[in-house]
Structure 1
Amino acid sequence: MTYTEILLRSILAVTILLLIPRILGKQTVTNMTFHDFVTTITLGSIAANLTFNISLKFTYELTALVLITSLSFLLSVAALKSRKMRSWISGSPTVLIEGGKVLEDNMRKIRYTMDSLDQSLREEGVFNLEEVEYAVLENNGKVSILKKEGYQLATKQDIGLVGRAQSFPIELIMDGEIVDDNLERHGLTRNWLEHELSQRGKTLSDVFYAVRGTQQQLVFDYYKDDIYNPMDKE
């Protein structure tokens, strides 16, 4: 009976944790601010207890999950309506480098070391401090940088090239299955897709993945890649 109860509790805990991000928003898993960090840790602890701590009543654990989720949702709403509340709930960015100068006082306030700053810059592909005009520690712990003009990469606009209009990529086949919704949504048909494949000497059964790219180009990945000695990094 105990094993059955743990099994049911585990299934319920996972189900609830999958539903909670849909209620609170995707930022819960993508943009880990102070608020999201506290919410995630708390919900994880409650869910763990719900799963294994059978000495606690199931209703107590479920009530705690509902209350924490509701409180987090209300805090998110408050953050949307008030800039001051948003700053208190989620924190605010901190400028670490301004005009190429490291702001030691700002770093000291948030207890951020020079080693951490160097690591964050390297993760952004910057190994020389002199390349940086501005660096900002964001609420999610990431460092955003603006390079000095002389170190910025040239764009098409800089060299006078006019780019073509781009569209969002459309996945046509995934894991060998046609994504009918994407075809219908963009006015495409199976017959059109089969025709494109026949021009390449292939059929639908040959394709593992297919996408129409940003320039309307079709890209196909086939089950048979004709790679006889694939690289294996393990």
Structure 2
Amino acid sequence: MSEWMHIIVRSILFVVTLFAITKLGGKKQLAELSFFEYVSGITIGSIAGEVIMGLEGNMFHGVLAVIIFGGFTYLVDVLSIKSKSFRDVIEGKATVLIKDGKVLEENMKKEKYTIDELNSLLRQKNVFKTADVEFAVLEPKGDLSVLLKKEMQPVTPKDLHLNVAPEKETHTVIMDGEVLNDPLTAAGKNRGWLDIELANLGVTLDNVFIGQVDSYGELTIDTYDDQLQVPSPQPRKLLLAMLKKCQADLELFALETDSIEAKQMYNKNAVKLQKAINKIKAYLN
């Protein structure tokens, strides 16, 4: 067998082996690595590269070494799940770097972090002043978790005692000019509704790059033609405006009529409609 054929066979064999080992390790291997997983990954890659290009060696010895390292990594992950003390040794513990706006220099030295590196991590969290930080923790994976002081945190609807509509999953119903039937059904819509919405927006299906239905049931699209101005759908705002007009009309009718019974009826229904508007206003804004 020629050298080229040797390299091809070895490469295919190790691609399959490495894929199987990575699959065994789970999605965490693709996201965040512990110290041990980092070292193990480098070693496995080095073994694979050496065996693929080292034609004089036995490739099955390399496969065995990769399987051993991969199996040992998997065993460490299993033990880490079952034992916190073992996990603390392998992955490390979280370290507090800022507390009550004060940088803890001893912990910084322990983790070998400079103030420039800390400021860089803070800026990634949109924090530019350490005094604004209530609590900052360096996670075992190297990420910095930051809790701002209460007065520096953004105001939420809950702080203002406002009712807001719950958010649901956004469904992509059109992709590359093709209708995706399963997401369309999951959104509670059908093809007829989609055709009407596209007609209202003045676009054809084959000109839609992506179309999505949000939690309010509204269709938003992006077209292939970037110069095309697509109007934003606003049925909720139109409905709210219509309800407010109806409520104002009831109050106006009550003022214009001379009948006491009619005046009471108009005022009563105007109050009911106003209460209904107050309840659903958060969903329609």
TM-score normalised to structure 1 length: 0.84
Cα shift at 1:163 = 1.5
Q: In 2, Cα distance between the equivalents of 1:132 and 1:118?
A: 12
**What percentage of aligned pairs have identical amino acids?**
36
Aligned pair count reads 227
Structure 1 residues 197 and 36: alpha-carbon distance in aligned structure 2, compared to 1, 3 A threshold: farther
1:27 equivalenced with 2:32 (yes/no): no
Q: Give 1:54's aligned residue.
A: 55
Q: Give 2:38's aligned residue.
A: 37
Cα shift at 1:109 = 1.8
Structure 1, 191-200 or 42-51: larger mean CA deviation: 191-200
Which runs of structure 2 are paired with 1:1-234 in the superposition (5 Å)? 1-183=2-184, 189-226=190-227
- Compare the two structures and name the one with the higher helix fraction: 2
Cα shift at 1:214 = 4.0
Q: Structure 1: state its 5+ residue gaps.
A: 228-234
Structure 1 residues 113 and 216: alpha-carbon distance in aligned structure 2, compared to 1, 3 A threshold: same
Q: Give 1:232's aligned residue.
A: none
Q: Structure 2: state its 5+ residue gaps.
A: 229-285
CA-atom RMSD in angstroms: 2.4
Structure 1 residues 206 and 11: alpha-carbon distance in aligned structure 2, compared to 1, 3 A threshold: farther
Q: In 1, Cα distance between the equivalents of 2:14 and 2:181?
A: 33
TM-score normalised to structure 2 length: 0.70
Cα shift at 1:186 = 5.4
Contact 1:120–1:143 at 8 Å: present in 2 too?
yes
Structure 1 residues 139 and 217: alpha-carbon distance in aligned structure 2, compared to 1, 3 A threshold: farther
Structure 1 residues 171 and 102: alpha-carbon distance in aligned structure 2, compared to 1, 3 A threshold: same
Larger Rg: 2
Contact 1:32–1:139 at 8 Å: present in 2 too?
no
- Please tell me the residue identity of whatever aligns with 1:9: R
Structure 1, 59-68 or 212-221: larger mean CA deviation: 212-221
- Residue deviations 1:32-70, cap 9 Å, x none? 222332232223223323433333322122222222222
